[in-house]
Amino acid sequence: MKGHCRCRNISLDWQTVDQSLVPRRCGCSFCLARDLTWVSKAGTRLRVTVNNPRYHELLRQGTETAEFHRCSYCDQVVFASSEINGDLFAVISAASLHNPAGFAEPVLADFDGEPVGDRLDRRRRNWCGPVRITYADEP
């Protein structure tokens, strides 16, 4: 499944064939303010290409255990990543993906108060991985 931010600065190539995933709507104020819904599937590869690093912004919220990848040129959060024991995992903004089947209505996911260790374990079990981020000016 392919995707990108509105201006195509950050592009996604997600190695999944499952188009029936149900997005999750996080109940935190950051995600709610941006109307973000998320999809992921364990064991699926995500390749990210950043064309202009100048507009690739990393944001941290809450427990600061994840980085939200935002294109500052078009103001779109494209995905979030979390490094766990040296491995990079990610969850993808459903609005950034081109799903020919369309996504179902999102379900609410409330992780408020979840201990950090449990949060990282959940991500390792459910988020995409491995994740590779490259920049267009890299070989």
**pTM for the full predicted model:** 0.92
Determine the average pLDDT of the residues in 17-32: 86
The pLDDT of residue 138 is 62
Question: In the structure, what pLDDT confidence band is assigned to residue 139 with cuts at 50, 70 and 90?
Answer: low
Distance CA(120)–CA(60), nearest Å, equals: 15
Determine the average pLDDT of the residues in 100-118: 88
Assign residue 55 the CATH number of its domain: 2.170.150.70
The pLDDT of residue 28 is 84
Measured in degrees and rounded to the nearest 5, phi and psi for residue 65 equal: -100, 0
Q: What is the domain range of residue 119?
A: 2-135
Residue type, position 90, single letter? A
Comparing CA positions, the residue from 113, 135, 130 lying closest to residue 46 is 130
The pLDDT of residue 61 is 86
Number of domains observed in the structure of the chain:
1
Distance CA(6)–CA(41), nearest Å, equals: 23
Question: In the structure, what pLDDT confidence band is assigned to residue 113 with cuts at 50, 70 and 90?
Answer: confident
Comparing CA positions, the residue from 77, 74, 73 lying closest to residue 28 is 77
**What sign results for the dihedral spanned by CA atoms 6, 136, 42, 64?**
negative
